[in-house]
Amino acid sequence: MADFCTRCVWEIFVQPHERTPEVLENLTPDIDVFKIYGDLPRGMWRPCLCEGCGLGAIMKSETGELLVAYATKDPDHLSDWTDYGHRP
């Protein structure tokens, strides 16, 4: 079964007319980016694989910033760390 991150669940499975703060608050994504980020100690990261956007890892930087890396065409390498708001 495919796993999807928070943003992909919102964008793929929630219709535009249904997108309200209440719906967002009650989303249950397979890869809950913000929960994973909240559970990570600073400087640590966790691998994952979103079938929607190719999200491959979630990191909490040393400064507490939420960063992500995406799958690339090379299965042995992820993209550079970037803000979750940017896609490859």
In a structure prediction context, what are the per-residue pLDDT tens digits for the chain, which is 88 residues long?
A: 789 999 999 889 888 888 888 888 888 999 999 999 999 999 999 999 999 999 999 999 999 999 999 999 998 899 999 988 765 5
What local confidence, expressed as pLDDT, does residue 23 receive?
85
* pLDDT at 29 (0 to 100): 93
- pTM of the predicted model as reported, rounded to 2 decimal places: 0.85
pLDDT for position 46: 97
Task: Give residue limits of the domains in the chain.
Answer: 6-83
CA-to-CA distance for 27 and 30, rounded, in angstroms?
10
